[in-house]
Amino acid sequence: MNKLKLDRRTVATARRLAAAAGRPVVDLARSHTTVSVERATLRLAGITGADPDGIPWVNRLVDTVVEQVGLGGGVAGPVFDALQRDGHQDLTLLAQKAAAGSVTFRAETPAAAKRAAARAVKTGLAQVDRRRRERDRLIKRYGDPKQRPWIYLIVATGDIHEDIPQAQAAARAGADVIAVIRSTGQSLLDYVPEGATREGFAGTYATQENFRLMRAALDDTSKEVGRYVRLTNYASGLCMPEIAALAGLERLDMMLNDSMYGILFRDINPIRTFVDQRFSRQVHARAGIIINTGEDNYLTTADAVDAAHTVTVSQLLNEYFAHEAGLEDWQLGLGHAFEINPELPESFRLELAHALLARELFPDAPLKWMPPTKHMTGDVFRGNLLDGFFNLAGALTGQGILLVGMMTEAVVTPWLSDRDIALQNVRYVLSAAGNLHEDFTPGAFIRDRAHTVLGEAVTLLRQIGRQGLLDAIGEGTFGIMRRPADRGKGLDGVAAREPGYFNPAIEILDGPSWTQS
Amino acid sequence: MDTVMSAAVIRPYGDTTGDGMVQVSFTLPLAADKRGEGAALQLAGKMGIDPAMVVHARPIGAQHTFFVVYGRVNHLVEPGKVVVAERDYPLLSAKEVNAAIRARLRRKLVVVGACIGTDAHTVGIDAILNVKGIAGEKGLEYYRECRVVNLGAQVAVAALVEHARAEKADAVLVSQVVTQRDAHLTNTREMSAAFREAFPAAKRPLLVVGGPRFDELQTADLGVDRIFGRGTTPREVASYLIHAVGAR
């Protein structure tokens, strides 16, 4: 598809510049570790459960190891060394003893302990692999959605036992993908809560048990509706790597996983974010999970026309980081959004130009198309019309994943009837005009606008290349947020890898390309 | 205009003065059959809509039905008796807040925020301060003319005072979610006492506290300048801050 007549050389230049800007950050990620990467590794090795205060044993264990021998050598070595010296097999028991202060850890790890650690992590990754094969089987059995884009709906009650019937109802009403919104503030918790949860703020905590419950319920519904219903959650915030691991273990299908969102919007330290992100993406690659990136968020803070090229730049960076971590094109739900002020003349044509640019730059990626939020008002009638145009733009430009817009956006969390009206809107547009892209050839206005945005993206990428990505972020290039590399939350959980750094999960994930057998 | 203002009673307007016509929609947990429709009419009647017409009934799943009802409402509106709760400061947009800060302070407004005591719930302070914000409104970090220092959770009162001094804070925002044994009240009193001790009255930053369980009228008792309750948005806080700082 080359409806925009994009210049191939400009596109190649943009990719080359994104890679050049991203490479130093990858080097940084490969030379550091974080408490969350180490905790994710131990979770893959089988540790579970939490202390009576709800703090996971994996946190207690990693904190104790870091206190005694530091973080830079990796935590798996000291842990398995202590386990072997102690003569028992159970990590959770070791964590309990360590929390009570009765375990001494050593920095030097004997080879036998390293082998034991590698075996344990391999068992966890084998479970991730099994889950992936299980998904493939279920998709074969029940089938993929008949139409593109896939219809993506959100549930967010705070109570997993309320979320489940709502998610099942949404799937029966036509949702192909269910996202369970997380509780406000979970991204800033430096631990993953444990167990089934019934209290959240404007969302439901991401926990392994909640993942398991919802996936099992949607498996039942998949069978009932005769199509595989996908489940989405958020691998973001301070526990990004751990949540990615839990998602792999419990067969989640999509994860929100942006390269810069936590830095810009949650003030999480940039180095922490990039290190955590690389590990989480490696796990997603292995688990066959589709990531969703968060470019739509830039357009909620900045103007959607002025900042259109920052979306393109971020998509190119997200693509580079994703490929580097082993994700394939079909796993890249690169984000963008319908956020241009509807009062602006020709706003819909501009939206089409931006959406088509993303489509043609990333022809094999299932783009994630986000509905209007910024210009939604309490006028629900106008909101429903705007959502209709959003749906039409999605169909016309071949978007892969369509997050269903609600006319009550900015008014209330969606009611049952809001969701029903929104789905009627999507169904009408897709049935009336789902194949209109066959007849749609953009004219000069849309082509020129797309070329302009791509040109601005290349200019910005050159500037980032000169400056370095971390400095660019530090100086407020994206949105208006200045986020220096030595500030932000979670920095105390970052360490440079020492010469003897040992992490069996990273050794396997960094190893020769894994192929499905 | 005069006639409208002086009318003692008015009714909703459909297409004729005084026709009283309204349109409402709602969902009932009933199947979409005759009984369901009858139930919708019954609700409309109890809402004062008579006669009522169910113009649309659509099943949502097997157990719910969405209704749209048009009809004449028999209630009267008395404009003269409307009481409006006036906010004691104007609610400004982000742009207006920025302009007001530039005009009144000629420098950035400095806000230091924290959760104090053992409270680790930064939900409130983050909703107000982080760019992400809440309910579609960006937090104070998004305001170009605000400089925000968010100290996060479990900040000791003494450390908060020191940071406020070092940053030359115009305002200190504290959020408290945990209310066990009235911890939110104890912590707030401790905080306000510490600030009163550490600063002369004229130099003391504005003290603002927020959380779901505070009584907004309790400012004097707690020794703070303002209390914000559940559902407060960043814009309200920003509007208040420039109003109160500007007034000093």
Residue B176's pLDDT band, with cuts at 50, 70 and 90, is confident
d(CA A9, nearest CA chain B) in Å: 37
Q: Which of B132, B138, B168, B203 is catalytic?
A: B132
> Which residues of chain A are within 8 Å of residue B27 when distances are taken between CB atoms?
415-417
Q: Is the Cβ of A172 closer than 8 Å to some Cβ of chain B?
A: yes
Mean pLDDT of all residues in A82-107: 92
Residue B118's pLDDT band, with cuts at 50, 70 and 90, is low
Q: What is the pLDDT of residues A126-143, one digit of tens each?
A: 999 999 999 999 999 999
Q: What is the pLDDT of residues B52-104, one digit of tens each?
A: 999 999 999 889 999 999 999 999 999 999 876 567 899 999 999 999 999 99
Residue A210 pLDDT greater than 70, yes or no = yes
Would residue B132 show up in a list of annotated catalytic residues for this protein? yes
Lookup: tokens for B56: 């649309």
Q: Between chains, do B123 and A184 touch, taking CB under 8 Å as contact?
A: yes
CA pair distance A160, A163, nearest whole angstrom: 5
Q: What is the pLDDT of residues A414-439, one digit of tens each?
A: 888 999 999 999 999 999 999 999 99
Amino acid in the structure at residue B235: R
Q: What is the pLDDT of residues A471-511, one digit of tens each?
A: 998 887 776 567 888 988 899 999 999 999 999 999 999 98
For residues A195 and A230, the answer to whether their CB atoms sit within 8 Å is: no
d(CA A408, nearest CA chain B) in Å: 12
Active site residues of A: 261, 296, 368
Residue B19's pLDDT band, with cuts at 50, 70 and 90, is very high
Q: Between chains, do B123 and A480 touch, taking CB under 8 Å as contact?
A: no
Q: Is the Cβ of A445 closer than 8 Å to some Cβ of chain B?
A: no
Q: What is the pLDDT of residues A150-198, one digit of tens each?
A: 999 998 888 999 999 999 999 999 999 999 999 877 888 999 999 999 9
Q: Between chains, do B64 and A188 touch, taking CB under 8 Å as contact?
A: no
Mean pLDDT of all residues in A13-35: 97
Of A266, A420, A480, the CB nearest to B144: A480
Q: What is the pLDDT of residues A300-335, one digit of tens each?
A: 767 899 989 999 999 999 999 999 999 999 999 999
Residue A60 pLDDT greater than 50, yes or no = yes
User: Which region among A341-345, A363-367, B40-44, B215-219 has the lowest average model confidence (pLDDT)?
Assistant: B215-219
pTM confidence score: 0.84
> Which residues of chain A are within 8 Å of residue B61 when distances are taken between CB atoms?
169, 172-173
Name residue B171's beta-bridge partners. B111, B206
Closest by CA position to B12, among listed B22, B24, B4: B22
Closest by CA position to A238, among listed B148, B152, B209: B152
Place of tokens 């595989």: A228
Residue A515 pLDDT greater than 60, yes or no = no
> Which residues of chain A are within 8 Å of residue B122 when distances are taken between CB atoms?
185, 188
d(CA A274, nearest CA chain B) in Å: 20
Q: Which residues contact A203 (CB under 8 A, 6 or more apart)?
A: A156, A158, A180, A181, A182, A183, A184, A186
What's the pLDDT at A302? 74
Please report, for residues A200, A267, B30, the alpha-carbon distance to residue A203 in angstroms, rounded to integers and kept in the order given. Answer: 5, 21, 27
Torsion of CA A181, A182, A187, A188, to 10 degrees: 140
> Which residues of chain B are within 8 Å of residue A374 when distances are taken between CB atoms?
136
Q: Between chains, do B66 and A417 touch, taking CB under 8 Å as contact?
A: yes
Radius of gyration, alpha carbons of chain B: 25
Lookup: tokens for A449: 């606008």
Q: Between chains, do A480 and B61 touch, taking CB under 8 Å as contact?
A: no
Mean pLDDT of all residues in A60-88: 95
What's the pLDDT at A300? 74
Of A184, A265, A417, the CB nearest to B131: A265
Q: Between chains, do A173 and B135 touch, taking CB under 8 Å as contact?
A: no
Lookup: tokens for A350: 């501009």
**Percent of the residues in chain A that have a pLDDT greater than 90, as a whole number:** 83
Find the residue in B nearest to A267 (Cα): B130
Reported as half-sphere exposure (CB side, CA atoms, 13 A), residue B181 has a value of 5
> Which residues of chain A are within 8 Å of residue B24 when distances are taken between CB atoms?
none
Q: Is A101 exposed, middle or buried (0-12, 13-18, 19+ CB in 10 A)?
A: exposed
Of A184, A267, A416, the CB nearest to B60: A416
Backbone angles phi, psi at A295, to 5 degrees: -60, -25
CATH class of the domain defined by A143-446: alpha beta
Count of pairs with CB atoms under 8 A, one residue in A, one in B: 59
Mean pLDDT of all residues in A42-50: 97
Find the residue in B nearest to A264 (Cα): B131
What's the pLDDT at B2? 43
Residue A513's pLDDT band, with cuts at 50, 70 and 90, is low
Q: Is the Cβ of A417 closer than 8 Å to some Cβ of chain B?
A: yes
Closest by CA position to A305, among listed A497, A456, A116, A150: A456
What's the pLDDT at A267? 82
Lookup: tokens for A197: 């949860």
Please report, for residues A17, A100, A105, A107, A341, the alpha-carbon distance to residue A69 in angstroms, rounded to integers and kept in the order given. Answer: 40, 17, 7, 6, 55
For residues A109 and A81, the answer to whether their CB atoms sit within 8 Å is: yes
Please report, for residues A11, A407, A414, A445, B28, the alpha-carbon distance to residue A411 in angstroms, rounded to integers and kept in the order given. Answer: 41, 9, 9, 35, 20
Q: Is the Cβ of A377 closer than 8 Å to some Cβ of chain B?
A: no
Q: Between chains, do B122 and A188 touch, taking CB under 8 Å as contact?
A: yes
Q: In chain A, what are the domain boundaries? A: 32-121, 143-446
What's the pLDDT at A475? 81
Q: Is the Cβ of A93 closer than 8 Å to some Cβ of chain B?
A: no
Q: Between chains, do B61 and A415 touch, taking CB under 8 Å as contact?
A: no
> Which residues of chain B are within 8 Å of residue A415 when distances are taken between CB atoms?
27
Mutation to test the A interface, candidates B67, B93, B121, B123, most A Cβ within 10 Å: B123
Q: Which residues contact A297 (CB under 8 A, 6 or more apart)?
A: A258, A261, A264, A265
Mutation to test the A interface, candidates B26, B130, B154, B178, most A Cβ within 10 Å: B130
What's the pLDDT at B86? 61
Residue B232's pLDDT band, with cuts at 50, 70 and 90, is confident
What's the pLDDT at B120? 61
Is residue A58 classed as helix, strand or coil in its secondary structure?
A: helix
For residues B72 and B51, the answer to whether their CB atoms sit within 8 Å is: yes
User: Which region among A214-218, A333-337, B111-115 has the lowest average model confidence (pLDDT)?
Assistant: B111-115
Residue A232 pLDDT greater than 80, yes or no = yes
Q: Is the Cβ of A265 closer than 8 Å to some Cβ of chain B?
A: yes
Q: What is the pLDDT of residues B131-156, one digit of tens each?
A: 877 767 889 999 999 999 988 777 88
d(CA B131, nearest CA chain A) in Å: 6
Of A264, A410, A481, the CB nearest to B136: A410
Residue B1 pLDDT greater than 50, yes or no = no
**Percent of the residues in chain A that have a pLDDT greater than 70, as a whole number:** 98
ipTM of the complex: 0.84
d(CA B168, nearest CA chain A) in Å: 20
Angle at A257 between CA A251 and CA A258, to 5 degrees: 170
What's the pLDDT at B216? 83
DSSP category for residue A50: B
Residue A246 pLDDT greater than 90, yes or no = yes
Mutation to test the A interface, candidates B138, B143, B146, B233, most A Cβ within 10 Å: B138
Residues from B contacting A (CB-CB < 8 Å) are: 25-27, 58, 60-61, 64, 66, 121-123, 126-127, 130-132, 134-136, 138, 141-142, 144, 150, 152
